[in-house]
Structures are given as structure tokens and as C-alpha cells.
């Protein structure tokens, strides 16, 4: 069977890596990543053996303990091991005093880490997946392949491991950086080819652009940097993610967001992690981290925990929220970034991958040249530490703070994390709403606080419910099995008055890209893997096709992973209003929940398959007061200027005869 260039290169890499390990190396319990879906590929014994051997990790090194992440006391380093299964109780990692680090131990770290496939639940009600191979359109003289390589915890090891091996073999060479990236394709196999493949994929630029810095080489500037005395975003702000090769507007880079010079602790929730890229942005040698991850099934979660231990990545703890029963995905995106004097709360639409934050692959010299292929948005608010240094009372929190705390507790994070937010003053969030979807089944009042009913409750608190008129524009990167009944539930949850299913379809505009838009984007069709709609949903008689609008970014050629709801209208007293939701929830029952009306007329249980979270940001009253609206008019889309930079062209083209972008079509 003939292999493509990419398949051939992956095969060479797998074979090359497999030759580094003795045949009696104990196999990992982690699942082996399949390089293809073809049955012919599965029949290739050499490929399967190479893949399996290359994915094994050495288990003879003693596992390290996971760091204790304590938002209440950031100096705390110990905790009862029984609270954290999967981690053994040995001495905790000390970030401050690293002079006693054993060089052999460091070498063991580099050699012990091996690549594993990121296992996921095979059951996904909503079809968001990682793009496997994202081939970016290029000019004829610049061949390249953009790939989203989602790793587990191996980001620290590959470069160190390969450099040491190549040095021992005497094969290490210094080469000038090529002006343009090249695949270095060689069709015939040889020992030198093995080395070339590994060297090309594993080695970064000599300046260490993509490497983890030595903890002993901390710059004087970083050592002397102090926490920001003034908060950058005390009232909250929504920003677009930066996009390489596009003009900067109201956007933000991941480095600007993280503020790693003063960062102490990072709690990161994401459906997907690109570990190697994440380590560039938040140094595990310097910053304690909790990764809240997606994995359905205890066996998969245990594999991740074991990998976290054996990989010996310092200061990293992995956590999984409850995933039993009807819960299918941990899809929420949330960051709690703890600094000396403040906490930055971030609710993005982006995962922890380079493409979601506007970056693309780099040349061997560490330089990007391909323009961004994907964009997102992020809500950001900075809150100060309490002046009295005490732990506050949860009853004194704002509505935003109470819902955030409820979400963290529902995800069963340790009290050091969930209750740690009480060390901060969240009084500036009174005008905001934190909206969540807690996975599982809810009744007896709990159903009023989460999912789409929770959105309604939040809007009532903010004085935004009870609309006489309401128009909704929703940009979603994935669409579920939409129907008029669900859109009516969402419309009323968003504050709209009771309305017929026929009439409600006139109030919705749903922005989703057509097949043509994806294919003609900068990255092309292969970069559309996280934009999903099942053809069967579209073909259903109840799917509201008339509501769909073409999603075209205001950045030419860039695709969207945004989940943004824009609501505008007038209240029963005639006053105009407008607000935006930014978060992880796509337009689907998986994200917002489903709740049927029983024969008795009562509402049944609220069932939510996904964990999600987002923020409601109202347009300020002073902006609304300046509007001059006629009778029956609602605020125009321009009302959001200054609150959120709308990233798509509106009102958007109707689909007409065009087809949307389908998942795995």
C-alpha cells in the first residue's frame, strides 16, 4: 500500500523512535495512537510494531508526587495523599531552591517520558474533535504541513532525549537555518534516515525558542519583576485572540494574558491540551498548575494520572470532574491565574492549543510564517486579594462569584483551589454573570441554577429578563440536532417572552461556515476539524435551516472556534438592553441541557451531557441611553462596540442553496 508523504514521515518517526528502546521495555498501559483509519494500515505488522514500541515509556523510575495547588496559601507544599489517588507521597517539588537538583534525576526525566495518544471517550453527543492533520495552503515553493499534535505530558522530554542520543551517536550537526521550511523527504530507509527524521521533528532552534528554560538561568529582569500594582481589567473585558499576520485590534496574545513574569499558580480547564506548546507559555519549573481535563471512564483517567506521575513533569496536577452516567464531555474553558496581589479570571472559547490562540507551526529557526488559521474570544477580569488577608465568606460573594464557586465545587476540585477564590475581592463582578452547565441530571431546584435555566436565573438577577422584544445572533463552532422546540427554550431562557415555535425562528440568526468558506480559508478543509455539524442533523425535517447565516470572519481567511451569543431588545418598560455571552457552550442540547415537559405539565429532570461555562457581559447603560430608537425597534448590532468586538460579518448571508461544513463528510 502506497503511503502519502505525511504517513511515510510518521512511519519513519515511529520506526526511528522504536529503535531507541530495548525489546524488553515494559509496555505502557496507555492506549496506542492509531496513525490511520484504513484497514490496510492495520494489517501492516511493521507499522503496528513500530508504533507500539515507540509509545512505550520506562516505568523503572520512582514516581514523583504531584504538587499541592493551594490558592489559599500559595506556599503550601504538602497534602494528604489519599485525597489525590494516583500520586505517591514523596518529597514535593520545590521551585525556589533548585541547587540540590540531581543532574542524573534530570536526565531520568528526559529519558523516561514517552509520547502517548490522548485517549478520549468514544461517545460524543456533540461532535467537536481535534483536527488531526491541518494542512495549510502554501505557495508552490514553500511546501509545509501544519499539524495539531496534541500531546500529553511529553513536552519536556523529546528535545532533551533526542539531543542526548544523537550526541552519543556522534550524529549531531550544526546546520544553518533554511530560509523556508522543508519536509526533508527521503524515500529510502537507512540508519541515517532514522536520525534525520527524528532530528527534524524533535530539534528546535538554537536559541531555545521552543524549549523549557533552565530553572537556574532565570533572568534578573524576571527576578526583580513585581506583581502589577494596578489591575488591568478590574471591570471585565472581552477580547479577540491575537491572529498572526493580521492587524492588531482589540485582541490579546496568550503571553499577555498569562503574565508569566508574576504568575504563581495556574488552574486551567480545557477540552484539549497541546502540552509542549503549553509549557512554552507557562513554565512547569516555575509555576504550579492544575489541568482540568476531558476523559470519560476511570481506566482512561487512571492512565492519564499514571502518565502524569511517571512523566515527572514538575508542579503539575491533572484533575477530572465527575464523568459518570449521562455526562459525556468536560468541555469547559476556564483559567484562574494567581499572581501575588491579584487573580485573573479568564473564560475563553479557546482550548490550550497554538491554533486556537492564533499561532501556527514554526520553522526550525523558531519563526512562524503561515498566517493564523483559527480565532477565538476571551472574557478577562482581574480581582485583587482581600486587603485583610482573610478568607471571605461565600455568602458575601457576588452572583458571579457564587456561581463560579458552585462550578468549581461541582467539579470536585480540592478546597485549596475552590475555596481559594475567597482570598480575593470579587465585588467588581457585581454587574457580570457567570453561567455554567454542570454535567449530569438535575432536579428539585438544582435545575434552576445551571444549563439554559441557569442562564435565565442569571439574567433575572442582572435585570435583563422579561423582554418585550428580543433578537439573538449566535456564533457557534459546532451545532447539535437543532429544532424549533430547543430554540424556543433557549429564546425564553435568554429573557424572551413566550412565543410560538414558528415565530421564534424569525428571531434567530445562527452563524456557521459553509463548506465553501472552510475550503477557501487560509488553512483549507484540513483545518476545519473543530467545526462540526452532522449531516444527519442538517437533513432532519425539523432542522431550522432558515436561521443559518454564513460565518465569515472580519479577518480574511480565518476560521472561527467562537461561541458567542449576542442578545438585544427592549424590556417591557420600553428600555433597550443588550448583552453578550462568551464561553465554551456551542448551540446544542449537549451544552445547554435538555428538559422535557411531562404529561402532568411539570418539567422533567434537566439532563446536561457536557461541562461548560461562560460569562454574560451587559452593554453599559450609558451606551444604551444614547440610542435613538423608533417604535418597535431594537438596538442595532453596533451597540456592542466597546463591549465586544464582533468577530464576524453581520447580518450575514443566508445560505440559500449552499451547504454547511459537515463533520467527516
Q: Which residues are catalytic?
A: 331, 561
Nearest CA-CA partner of 14 in 204, 622, 41:
41
Is 137 marked within a binding site?
Answer: no
Q: From its phi and psi, is residue 29 left (phi > 0), alpha (psi between -120 and 50) or beta?
A: alpha
Rounded Cα distance between 77 and 68, Å, is 5
Nearest CA-CA partner of 321 in 345, 346, 296:
296
Q: At what angle do helices 191-202 and 158-169 cross, to 10 degrees?
A: 150
Nearest CA-CA partner of 590 in 451, 427, 405:
451
Is 180 marked within a binding site?
Answer: no
CA distance to 38, 133, 543, per residue, from 662 (Å)? 21, 17, 14
Rounded Cα distance between 387 and 359, Å, is 39
Q: Which residues contact 305 (CB under 8 A, 6 or more apart)?
A: 85, 86, 87, 318
Rounded Cα distance between 71 and 418, Å, is 8
Nearest CA-CA partner of 120 in 331, 348, 353:
331
CB neighbours (10 Å) of residue 510? 22
Task: Name the E strands within 430-507.
Answer: 433-437, 440-442, 467-475
Q: From its phi and psi, is residue 202 left (phi > 0), alpha (psi between -120 and 50) or beta?
A: alpha
CA distance to 326, 460, 493, per residue, from 400 (Å)? 27, 13, 18
Q: Which residues contact 262 (CB under 8 A, 6 or more apart)?
A: 225, 226, 227, 228, 339, 340
633 Cα distance to chain centroid: 38
- Which residues fall in the annotated binding site for substrate? 333, 563
- Which residues fall in the annotated binding site? 333, 563
Amino acid at each position: 500500500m502506497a503511503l502519502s508523504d505525511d504517513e511515510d514521515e510518521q512511519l519513519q518517526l515511529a520506526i526511528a523512535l522504536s529503535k531507541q528502546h530495548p525489546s524488553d521495555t515494559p509496555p505502557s498501559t496507555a492506549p496506542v495512537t492509531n496513525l490511520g483509519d484504513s484497514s490496510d494500515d492495520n494489517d501492516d505488522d511493521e507499522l503496528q510494531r513500530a508504533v507500539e514500541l515507540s509509545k512505550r515509556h520506562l516505568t523503572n523510575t520512582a514516581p514523583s508526587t504531584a504538587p499541592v495547588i493551594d490558592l489559599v496559601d500559595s506556599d503550601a507544599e504538602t497534602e494528604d495523599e489519599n485525597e489525590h489517588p494516583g500520586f505517591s507521597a514523596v518529597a514535593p517539588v520545590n521551585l525556589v531552591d533548585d541547587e540540590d537538583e540531581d543532574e542524573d534525576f534530570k536526565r531520568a526525566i528526559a529519558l523516561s517520558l514517552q509520547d502517548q495518544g490522548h485517549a478520549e471517550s468514544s461517545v460524543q453527543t456533540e461532535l467537536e474533535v481535534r483536527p488531526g492533520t491541518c494542512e495549510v495552503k502554501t505557495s508552490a515553493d514553500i511546501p509545509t504541513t501544519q499539524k495539531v499534535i496534541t500531546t500529553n505530558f511529553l513536552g519536556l522530554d523529546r528535545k532533551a532525549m533526542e539531543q542526548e542520543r544523537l550526541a552519543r551517536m556522534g550524529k549531531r550537526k550544526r546546520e544553518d537555518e533554511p530560509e523556508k521550511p522543508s519536509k526533508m523527504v527521503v524515500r529510502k530507509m537507512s540508519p541515517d534516515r532514522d536520525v534525520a527524521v527524528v532530528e527534524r521533528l524533535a530539534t528546535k532552534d538554537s536559541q531555545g525558542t521552543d524549549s523549557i528554560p533552565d530553572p537556574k538561568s532565570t533572568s534578573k529582569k524576571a527576578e526583580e519583576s513585581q506583581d502589577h500594582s494596578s489591575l488591568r481589567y478590574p471591570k471585565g473585558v472581552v477580547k479577540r485572540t491575537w491572529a498572526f499576520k493580521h492587524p492588531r485590534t482589540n485582541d490579546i496574545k496568550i503571553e499577555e494574558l498569562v503574565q508569566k513574569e508574576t504568575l504563581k499558580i495556574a488552574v486551567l480547564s480545557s477540552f484539549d491540551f497541546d502540552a509542549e506548546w503549553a509549557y512554552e507559555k507557562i513554565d512547569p519549573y516555575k509555576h504550579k498548575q492544575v489541568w482540568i481535563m476531558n476523559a470519560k471512564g476511570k481506566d482512561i483517567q487512571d492512565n492519564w494520572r499514571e502518565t502524569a506521575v511517571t512523566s515527572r513533569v514538575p508542579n503539575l496536577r491533572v484533575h477530572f470532574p465527575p464523568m459518570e452516567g449521562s455526562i459525556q464531555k468536560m468541555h469547559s474553558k476556564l483559567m484562574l491565574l494567581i499572581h501575588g496581589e491579584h487573580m485573573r479570571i479568564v473564560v475563553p472559547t479557546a482550548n490550550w492549543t497554538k491554533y486556537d490562540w492564533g499561532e501556527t507551526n514554526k520553522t526550525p529557526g523558531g519563526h512562524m510564517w503561515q498566517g493564523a488559521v483559527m480565532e477565538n474570544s476571551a472574557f478577562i477580569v482581574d480581582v485583587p486579594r482581600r486587603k485583610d488577608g482573610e478568607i471571605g465568606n461565600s455568602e458575601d460573594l457576588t452572583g458571579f462569584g457564587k456561581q463560579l464557586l458552585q462550578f468549581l465545587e461541582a467539579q470536585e476540585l480540592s478546597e485549596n483551589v475552590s475555596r481559594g477564590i475567597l482570598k480575593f475581592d470579587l465585588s467588581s463582578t457585581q454587574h457580570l454573570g457567570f453561567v455554567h452547565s454542570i454535567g449530569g441530571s438535575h432536579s428539585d431546584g438544582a435545575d434552576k441554577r445551571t444549563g439554559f435555566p441557569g442562564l435565565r436565573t442569571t439574567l433575572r438577577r442582572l435585570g435583563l429578563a422579561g423582554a418585550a422584544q428580543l433578537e439573538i445572533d449566535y456564533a457557534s463552532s459546532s451545532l447539535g440536532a437543532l429544532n424549533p422546540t430547543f430554540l424556543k427554550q433557549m429564546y425564553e431562557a435568554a429573557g424572551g417572552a413566550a412565543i410560538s415555535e414558528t415565530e421564534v425562528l424569525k428571531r434567530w440568526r445562527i452563524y456557521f461556515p459553509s463548506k465553501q468558506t472552510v475550503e477557501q480559508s487560509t488553512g483549507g478543509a484540513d483545518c476545519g476539524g473543530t467545526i462540526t455539524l452532522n449531516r444527519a442533523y442538517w437533513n432532519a425535517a425539523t432542522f431550522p435551516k432558515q436561521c443559518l447565516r454564513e460565518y465569515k470572519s472580519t479577518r480574511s481567511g480565518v476560521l472561527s472556534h467562537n461561541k458567542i451569543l449576542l442578545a438585544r431588545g427592549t424590556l417591557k418598560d420600553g428600555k433597550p438592553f443588550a448583552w453578550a455571552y462568551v464561553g465554551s457552550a456551542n448551540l446544542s442540547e449537549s451544552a445547554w441541557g435538555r428538559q422535557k415537559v411531562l404529561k402532568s405539565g411539570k418539567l422533567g429532570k434537566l439532563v446536561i451531557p457536557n461541562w461548560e461555562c461562560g460569562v454574560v457581559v451587559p452593554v453599559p447603560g450609558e451606551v444604551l441611553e444614547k440610542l435613538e430608537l423608533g417604535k418597535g425597534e431594537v438596538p442595532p448590532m453596533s451597540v456592542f462596540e466597546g463591549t465586544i468586538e464582533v468577530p464576524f460579518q453581520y447580518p450575514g448571508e443566508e445560505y440559500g442553496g449552499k451547504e454547511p461544513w459537515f463533520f467527516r463528510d
